[in-house]
Structure 1
Amino acid sequence: MTAETGAGETTRSFEADVARLLHLMVHSVYSDKDVFLRELVSNAADACEKLRFEAIADPALLDGGGEPAITLTVDPAARTLAVEDNGIGMTEAEMAEALGTIARSGTRAFMERMAESAKGGESRLIGQFGVGFYSAFMVADRVDVVSRRAGGDTAARWSSDGLGTYTVGTADPAEAPARGTRVTLHLKEDAGAYLDPDALERTVRAQSGHVPVPIALRRAPDAEPERIADGAALWTRPKSEISAADYADAYRTLAGQFDDPALTLHYRAEGLHEYTVLAFVPGSKPFDLFDPDRAGRMKLYVRRVFITDEAEILPRWLRFVRGLVDSADLPLNVSREMIQESRVVAAIRKGVTNRVLSELGKLAENEPGRYAEVWENFGAVLKEGLYEDEDRRAALLGIARFRTTASGEAPRSLGDYVAAMKDGQAAIYYAVGADADRLAASPQLEGFAARGVEVLLLTDQVDGFWTSMVPEFEGKPLRSVTQGLADLGAVPLREGAEAPEAETAPEIEGFLAYLRETLGADVSDVRASERLTDSAVCLVAPDRGIDRQLERLLASAGRLGGAASKPILEVNPRHALVARLAGLDAGEAALREDAARLLLDEARVADGEAPADPRAFAARLGRVMARALG
């Protein structure tokens, strides 16, 4: 909705997601509101960095505005705090777009997570997920923004009380910065602490002292600015001069998170190409981890000049890594097209990716407890690399961790699995499904459990895909427990387990033949099973078919490319029910057919499916129960 308000201004409603976000912030309780300062200072620094970049092609943009800087001004009398930069600035249209919407995909998912966290009484929500400019409404009951685009003559004003609408229009150029943006916060009654210049200085030094733009503080509107941060980019300083707290502050600004990093990488690469890397593995999942665009969050600098945050420095399966790369070899006027085609960027991408994998490997080896938390948060994303990146597949398999039938809650490596393989075991076995506990109870695993054979329990959606691309590990093939023959004959049974008969009894063979004939339209074969010990039946994929879970995923996504394959019905010839059914005489034809179809539906239900015809299933079950009770 848009309405004219006079004086060249219009009143507009926020887009629905922004209005909801503001409501959540205003009506929720947070333990640390200081985060708004980091967000506003970070935005100001980005504006200065964008000006540096655009000024490479148009140096005139720097005229009249001085060197890039950020200035905070306290006005106790008016109860205002202003954050001003002399960066790129905004036009009226850019202001309406930037401050009236959230220009990032994944907004709705973020909002839902934020709402759920607020219901649970969690704190630090804003800093944890990163909401930028809108965090100002935690401490302000009105926010005014005045901006002048670099190289422009006109100025624009934006104002809102955060209750659902905002005004935007032209501003008196005399009230605007010569270049850049001024954000003025009219502080709430309970936010008076931000009018204390000493406390403000301490907070800014602690949170944003590392940004690559100098920061100054005016203790009163008519006071001279005092520099409180020198703008020395953290990544340019020697590691010996940087504390863990400095790294944590840099991470929170770069990642938009409030937690501590799980892993910090800071190094300078020298040789054919020179570049500096400052990167972090977050301590918790970012809200946009499963953004459909799967975009990375690494920034590219050239000799400390911000170029873009859209360069694919890392592959998409490392998109959870946050940070930057500062190159000494790229030209300052590098374009997006040049970045995509640049051999230098390709070499940087290869070097940084390999280094991140190497550091994750070291963490897994030296601090398995910490690495287990990293894998819990990002293992599903790293597995995408198993599917997509053949060159690094071996390294990824080395750091992969899995819950298994023998691991309990603690994940195990494939190396651990291979070392514990049973005598006679020739393959690494896995089961794919939605829930580990349900997988562990699958009838297809009974024969493996009877022999003490460990099975990987794979519950991420990507598991059905990468397992089809990884033929082996350390010479051991990967095999699905729901695909083809179980091939367990060479593995001895555990002590006390009942050994299967060497040959299937003739009456059982006859019953299997009857099942093939009766169920031929629904299954590709019926055979005696060596994988079942307790259950009567189960379904498996044909020997050369794809895993049943992957087939279901492809079908649900409309990517199966044809009709689903018919499964194989495996029957436990040692099960008492099967023996009773095999002994029915010719006069029990109706019961025999009902039982045959009920066995197939039983196998479907155990496999997580519904009966093919629920009404017919209910009718058959009713007839069989009536006969049993009669």
Structure 2
Amino acid sequence: MTVEAHKETMDFQAEVSQVLNLVIRSLYSNKEIFLRELISNASDAAEKLRFEALTDDALYEEDPNLRIRVSVDEERRTLTISDNGIGMSRQEVSETIGTIANSGTRKFIEAMSGDKAQDSQLIGQFGVGFYSAFIVADKVTLVTRRAGAGSEHGVRWESSGEGSYTIETVEKAGRGTDVTLHLREEESEFTKGYRLRGIISKFSDHVAIPVEMLEEDFGRDDEEKEKEKKEPQWEQVNKGTALWMRNKSDISDEEYNEFYKHIGHDFEEPLAYVHNRVEGKSEYSSLLYIPGRAPFDLWDREQKHGVKLYVRRVFIMDEADKLMPRYLRFVKGVVDSDDLPLNVSRELLQHNKKIDSIRSANVKRVLELLKKMSSNEPEKYQKFWKEFGNVLKEGPAEDYANKEKVAELIRFNSTKAERKEDLVSLDQYIDRMQEKQEKIYYITADSYAAALHSPHLEVFRKKDVEVLLLTDRVDEWLVTHLFEYKGKQLQSVAKGELDLGELEAKENKEEQDKAAEEHKGLVERIKSALGDAVKEVRISKRLTESPACLVVEDYDMSANLQRVLKQL
């Protein structure tokens, strides 16, 4: 049975055209990266086939040996990356390459700054690796067939990256995908075997699927080769083993970093990583990374986040969010379990004691890694905090069991800091508390300047008492769940009757009582004038310079939170 070819010329989705233009303008700082991206895509396709074949062995089509092959034609100046993975249908090709089906597309484009180094990071995070082919190619041809479909259901896609593409149905005997790059004249170096082998060794050694190239005999001259006329054989050019299954002592930092770039679709090295093998009641390996930069969609509630889940080296799912709480959603990595069933589903993950155990251990390791970084590498931790601090602040509300451990990692602006960039921890605050101080004082505001110059701070400056300045939206959420730290109550300086405890001298209290009695008439007149706009008017002990300030009751919504909610 044959299928009508039906060739169409289609325009790229507007957003794709913009992304293509960004990529073609050499957004990637290193041209070699295109090969890493295409091999990574091929690896994903092979992993997906392996997973789907768990329930339908026929998808292997009597060819269960998964592989990626890289071949060249120097005369035609082409480079082809082939895989025998899951492949794509015509509809999947159009949806995957012709459009970017992602709610964050517009945000991504808006995030572009024009800074090539910075924008290259965004491109990688967005996962448009296929388009990197156009950095070195003036035309790209893709031929694919989905596993399980007949040979007549092959699809050919072609584009020169100038706003449109052609797509047609063709015959394709084997399943999987062939991506052929028609290289620009100045990019002919990428037809050289030694050059490609070097790139594969550098960027894709850790890919668990074998990457193969035709053998090259570098030790003999052309005359000797002609005598034998030996048919070249395919040979594996990467190690092809799961990095997380190797001994830590055998893995270099460079290998760890390159593996992160592969699974994280990132171009920067990670800030830190932790690699563990657990044996006992539950057996699994984990390799977890702290990225160096926040993805542009970190705050997109619809976007899934999480680590990759494998079961006995078989890829099961991306973004296994049950393995990591949302306040650690920036963590990238791999968890490979020996105990879970191969047919594990997202639903099963929700009610599984082994998953709960792995999740708990993951959280412990990440928090320990961050604590170690904050103690031993404060500059690196400062970079982490700048990128992910506001996400970590969600922790005390989400993870009661680890509330104090998370709180230990949180950093704040302070009235004692000389610069806005100088942040303090709660432990540092406690260490320099006044001798008779019993509480940790803070103020929330919509900006650093507003907090720093608030009249609520006047009495604290007079008494040289440090106040934490909370100016991020998430801070209001934080303080409703973080009531105390190491036995010290957190107290807003803009709420309720100010209680300075033993910091307040007895004579000051007597003066306050006397002033309240003396100005009783004034207080009554102000209250009468304001009417229902206020609940109470009273003489303040907060102020030393300003005539008046507004406060709310202890358990009322703060003025700053009211402003935030009105803006939503």
Please, what TM-score do these two structures have when normalized by structure 2? 0.90
Is residue 388 from structure 1 mapped to residue 388 from structure 2 by the alignment? Answer: no
- In structure 1, the partner of 2:140 is 143
> What do residues 99-149 of structure 1 show as CA deviations (whole Å, max 9, x unaligned)?
12223342222222224434x986665446542212222222221111111
Deviation at 1:544, TM superposition (A): 3.0
- In structure 1, the partner of 2:149 is 152
- In structure 2, the partner of 1:357 is 367
Deviation at 1:187, TM superposition (A): 1.7
> What do residues 465-493 of structure 1 show as CA deviations (whole Å, max 9, x unaligned)?
12011221111111112211222374269
Q: How does 1:102-121 map to 2 (within 5 A)?
A: 102-118=100-116
- In structure 2, the partner of 1:540 is 551
Asked whether the equivalents of residues 25 and 135 of structure 2 are also in contact (C-alpha less than 8 Å), the reply is no
Is residue 488 from structure 1 mapped to residue 500 from structure 2 by the alignment? Answer: yes
Larger displacement relative to structure 2 (127-136 or 535-544):
127-136
User: 2: CA distance between counterparts of 1:512 and 1:465?
Assistant: 34
Structure 2 SS opposite 1:142: strand
Structure 1 runs not aligned, ≥5 long: 1-5, 558-630
User: 2: CA distance between counterparts of 1:250 and 1:213?
Assistant: 13
Structure 1 SS opposite 2:402: helix
- Structure 1 residue aligned with 2:248, among 239, 255, 262? 239
User: 1: CA distance between counterparts of 2:345 and 2:438?
Assistant: 53
Matched letter for residue 363 of structure 2? T
- Structure 1 residue aligned with 2:81, among 83, 97, 105? 83
> What do residues 158-201 of structure 1 show as CA deviations (whole Å, max 9, x unaligned)?
12222222222201225xxx111111111223322322221111
- In structure 2, the partner of 1:49 is 47
Structure 2 SS opposite 1:332: coil
Larger displacement relative to structure 2 (533-542 or 139-148):
533-542
Matched letter for residue 486 of structure 2? E
Is residue 297 from structure 1 mapped to residue 306 from structure 2 by the alignment? Answer: yes
Matched letter for residue 22 of structure 2? L
User: 2: CA distance between counterparts of 1:379 and 1:543?
Assistant: 27
User: 2: CA distance between counterparts of 1:335 and 1:397?
Assistant: 33
Asked whether the equivalents of residues 296 and 318 of structure 1 are also in contact (C-alpha less than 8 Å), the reply is no
Q: How many pairs were matched up?
A: 543
- Structure 2 residue aligned with 1:461, among 454, 473, 478? 473
Asked whether the equivalents of residues 108 and 122 of structure 2 are also in contact (C-alpha less than 8 Å), the reply is no
Asked whether the equivalents of residues 296 and 315 of structure 1 are also in contact (C-alpha less than 8 Å), the reply is no
Is residue 411 from structure 1 mapped to residue 409 from structure 2 by the alignment? Answer: no
Asked whether the equivalents of residues 35 and 127 of structure 1 are also in contact (C-alpha less than 8 Å), the reply is no
Q: How does 1:466-477 map to 2 (within 5 A)?
A: 466-477=478-489
Matched letter for residue 166 of structure 2? T
Structure 2 SS opposite 1:147: strand
Q: How does 1:99-498 map to 2 (within 5 A)?
A: 99-118=97-116, 126-127=123-124, 130-153=127-150, 154-173=153-172, 178-218=174-214, 224-293=233-302, 295-312=304-321, 313-408=323-418, 409-488=421-500, 490-491=502-503
Deviation at 1:85, TM superposition (A): 0.5
- In structure 1, the partner of 2:67 is 69
Larger displacement relative to structure 2 (148-157 or 406-415):
406-415
Structure 2 SS opposite 1:289: coil
Asked whether the equivalents of residues 90 and 169 of structure 2 are also in contact (C-alpha less than 8 Å), the reply is yes
- CA distance 1:366–1:480, change in 2 (3 Å): same
User: 2: CA distance between counterparts of 1:524 and 1:502?
Assistant: 20
User: 1: CA distance between counterparts of 2:192 and 2:549?
Assistant: 71
- In structure 2, the partner of 1:523 is 534
User: 1: CA distance between counterparts of 2:194 and 2:179?
Assistant: 20
User: 1: CA distance between counterparts of 2:271 and 2:319?
Assistant: 24
Asked whether the equivalents of residues 441 and 492 of structure 2 are also in contact (C-alpha less than 8 Å), the reply is yes
> What do residues 495-517 of structure 1 show as CA deviations (whole Å, max 9, x unaligned)?
xx9x9766327774433322111
Deviation at 1:444, TM superposition (A): 1.4
- In structure 2, the partner of 1:586 is none
Structure 2 SS opposite 1:284: coil
Structure 1 SS opposite 2:41: helix
- CA distance 1:103–1:218, change in 2 (3 Å): farther
Higher relative contact order (CA 8 A, sep 6+): 2
Structure 1 SS opposite 2:514: coil
Deviation at 1:555, TM superposition (A): 3.7
Matched letter for residue 536 of structure 1? P
Larger displacement relative to structure 2 (231-240 or 294-303):
294-303
Larger displacement relative to structure 2 (225-234 or 243-252):
225-234
Structure 2 runs not aligned, ≥5 long: 217-230
User: 2: CA distance between counterparts of 1:266 and 1:546?
Assistant: 44
Deviation at 1:294, TM superposition (A): 5.3
Asked whether the equivalents of residues 438 and 501 of structure 2 are also in contact (C-alpha less than 8 Å), the reply is no
User: 2: CA distance between counterparts of 1:30 and 1:338?
Assistant: 40
Asked whether the equivalents of residues 28 and 120 of structure 2 are also in contact (C-alpha less than 8 Å), the reply is yes
User: 1: CA distance between counterparts of 2:68 and 2:147?
Assistant: 15
> What do residues 412-461 of structure 1 show as CA deviations (whole Å, max 9, x unaligned)?
11111112111332211112223223311111112211111111111221
- CA distance 1:393–1:461, change in 2 (3 Å): same
Deviation at 1:360, TM superposition (A): 1.6
- CA distance 1:430–1:294, change in 2 (3 Å): farther
Larger displacement relative to structure 2 (56-65 or 187-196):
187-196
- CA distance 1:342–1:506, change in 2 (3 Å): closer
Deviation at 1:288, TM superposition (A): 2.1
User: 2: CA distance between counterparts of 1:485 and 1:44?
Assistant: 65
Matched letter for residue 173 of structure 1? K
User: 1: CA distance between counterparts of 2:101 and 2:521?
Assistant: 67
Deviation at 1:336, TM superposition (A): 2.9
